[in-house]
Chain A
Amino acid sequence: MKMNFILGWIIALSAVLSHAEPTIDYADAEAVINEYFTALEQGDTQSLLQLMGPEEQANSDFLKTDPGYSSWLVNHYQGANFKITKRSRQNDFIAFDVLIDIGGDENVQERIILKSTSSNGTGPYKIIRRIEL
Chain B
Amino acid sequence: MNSINRIQKALPLLGAWLCCFSAAVSALELRINAGGSAFTDSAGKVWLADTGFNTGRKSNVSGVQIAGTSDDILYQTQRWDPSAAPDLTYSLAVTNGNYRVNLHFAETYSGAFGNGLRLFDVYLEDSLQFNNLDIFSAAGGGNRALVVSANNIAVADGKLDIRFSQEVENPTISAIEIISVASIQDTTPPTVPKNFTATADSSSINLSWGASTDDSGFVAGYRIYRDGSQIGSTTTTKYTDSGLASNTSYSYSVRAFDNAPTANLSSPANLSISTLPAVATSGTVIKRINVGGSAFTDSAGNLWLADSGYNTGRIATKSTANILGTTDDLIYQTQRWDVKALPELDYGFNLPNGQYSIRLHFAETYSGNAGVGLRVFNILTENQLAISNLDIFSEAGGINRALVRTIDQVAVTDGQLNIQFQHKTENPTLAAIEIISESSTSIDYTFNSTDLSDWSFVNDSGVTANWSVTNGKLLQSVDTGNQSFGSPMIQSSKVGTFAALTRNIGMNNYQVSADITPRRDSTNRDFFDGQDIGLMFRYQDINNYYRISFNSRESYTRLEKRINGAFTTLAVNSRGYREEQTYKLLVLASGSTIQVSLDNKVLFAVYDKDLSGGSIALYCQDKAEFDNVTIKAPSISPMISIERPLAYSVLTGDQVQAAAVALNAPAGSYVEFDFSGAACGNAQETPAGSGHFITNCGSFSQGDYDQVGLGMAAYLYSATHVLLASDEHLRVGVQGDQYLAVGDSITLGSFDLFAEDNLSQDGRIIGQQGYHAHLNDLLTASEQYPSIIFNTGVGGDRTTHTLNRIDSILTRHSDANRVLLMLGTNDANGSTPLTSATYLSNMQKLVNKAVNKGMSVWVAQIPPSLPYTNFGSVNQRKRDYNNGLNQLTNVQPGPDFYNFFYDDNGTTTTSDDYDRWSMFFDNLHPNALGQQVMAELWHNALTGANNQPFFLDRLCNRLESADCSAISPTKHKQTYLASGYRYYYVDKTYEVVTVPNVLANGIWIQTANNELNNTATQYLSFTVDRPVTVYVAYSAGASSLPNWLSNFSNTGSTLTTNDPLTPTLRLYSRNYNAGAVNLGGNLASGAVGAKSNYVVIVKQR
Contacts and interface: CB of A to CB of B under 8 A. Distances in A.
Q: Which of B826, B837, B873 has the most CB of A within 10 A?
A: B873
A40 B831 contact: yes
A107 to B, nearest CB: 8
Contacts of B838: 62, 65-66
Given A102-B873, A105-B869, A58 B804 contact: yes
A129 to B, nearest CB: 6
Nearest to A131: B796
Nearest to B873: A106
22 contacts: A36-B831, A48-B832, A59-B798, A59-B801, A61-B800, A62-B838, A66-B837, A66-B838, A91-B464, A93-B485, A93-B486, A95-B486, A102-B873, A106-B873, A108-B831, A113-B485, A129-B483, A129-B796, A130-B831, A131-B796, A132-B796, A132-B826
A68 to B, nearest CB: 7
B463 interface: yes
Interface string A45-71: 000100000010011111101101100
Contacts of B801: 59
Contacts of A68: 835
Contacts of B874: 106
B948 interface: no
Given A72-B835, A132-B829, A106 B870 contact: yes
Contacts of B804: 58-59
A105 B830 contact: no
A111 B835 contact: no
B832 A40 contact: yes
Interface string A64-105: 011011001100100000000000001111010010101011
Please tell me the size bucket of the interface on B.
Answer: 20 to 34
Top 8 closest pairs, chain A to chain B, by CB: A93-B486, A59-B800, A62-B838, A113-B486, A132-B829, A105-B870, A131-B796, A110-B830
Given A60-B800, A91-B464, A111 B484 contact: yes
B860 interface: no
A40 B831 CA distance: 8
Given A59-B800, A62-B838, A104 B484 contact: no
Interface residues of A, number: 38
Contacts of A93: 462-463, 485-486
Interface of A: 36, 40, 48, 55, 58-63, 65-66, 68-69, 72-73, 76, 90-93, 95, 98, 100, 102, 104-106, 108, 110-111, 113, 115, 128-132
A55 B834 CA distance: 17
Nearest to A68: B835
Contacts of B924: 132
B486 A115 contact: yes
B700 interface: no
Given A113-B486, A132-B924, A108 B870 contact: no
A61 B134 CA distance: 87
Contacts of A90: 463-464, 485-486
B487 to A, nearest CB: 9
Interface of B: 459, 462-464, 483-486, 488, 796, 798, 800-801, 804, 825-826, 829-832, 834-835, 837-838, 869-874, 924
A127 B299 CA distance: 52
A91 B463 contact: yes
Nearest to B874: A106
Nearest to A76: B873
Contacts of A40: 831-832
Nearest to B867: A105
A102 B829 CA distance: 13
Nearest to B872: A106
A130 B463 CA distance: 17
Contacts of A132: 796, 825-826, 829-830, 924
Contacts of A95: 485-486
A132 to B, nearest CB: 4
B871 A62 contact: no
Given A76-B873, A90-B463, A106-B872, 19 more contacts: A40-B831, A58-B800, A59-B798, A60-B832, A62-B835, A62-B838, A68-B835, A69-B835, A91-B459, A92-B462, A95-B485, A104-B872, A105-B869, A105-B872, A106-B874, A115-B486, A128-B486, A129-B486, A132-B829
Given A72-B835, A95-B485, A129-B486, A62 B800 contact: yes
B464 A130 contact: no
Contacts of A59: 798, 800-801, 804
A59 B939 CA distance: 32
B489 to A, nearest CB: 10
B827 to A, nearest CB: 10
A9 B464 CA distance: 37
Contacts of A130: 830-832
Given A91-B462, A93-B462, A106-B874, A131 B835 contact: no
A95 B796 CA distance: 15
A108 B796 CA distance: 15
Contacts of A104: 872
B482 to A, nearest CB: 10
Contact of B834 (A62, A108, A110): A62
Contacts of B829: 108, 132
A31 B829 CA distance: 24
Nearest to B837: A66
Contact of A66 (B464, B825, B835): B835
Contacts of A65: 838
B521 to A, nearest CB: 15
A51 B801 CA distance: 18
A52 to B, nearest CB: 10
A130 B829 CA distance: 11
Contacts of B463: 90-91, 93
A110 B831 contact: yes
A131 B483 contact: yes
